[in-house]
Amino acid sequence: MKTHKILFVCLGNICRSPMAEYVLRHRAREAGMGNAVITASAGTSGWHDGEGMHCGTADVLDGLGIASHDFVSRKLKASDVRDYDYLIVMDDSNLRDVEKLFGRQPEKIFKINDLLPKGSGYDHVPDPWYTGNFNETRDILTACCDVLLTRLQNGEM
Q: Which residues of 136-145 are buried (b: 16+ CB within 10 A; e: fewer)?
A: ebbebbbbbb
pLDDT tens digits, one per residue of 42-55? 999 989 999 999 99
- 16 among known catalytic residues: yes
pLDDT in tens, 102-137: 999 999 999 999 999 887 788 899 999 999 999 999
* Catalytic (active site) residue 127: yes
- Report how far residue 71's alpha carbon sits from residue 148's, in angstroms, rounded to the nearest whole number: 22
Q: What is the C-alpha to C-alpha distance for residues 134 and 23, in angstroms, rounded to an integer?
A: 13
Cβ(6)–Cβ(38) under 8 Å?
Answer: yes
The residue from 16, 25, 27, 138 that is catalytic is 16
Q: What is the mean pLDDT of residues 90-102?
A: 98
How many alpha carbons fall within 13 Å on the CB side of residue 85? 11
Catalytic residue among 80, 91, 97, 127: 127
Name the DSSP class of 108.
T
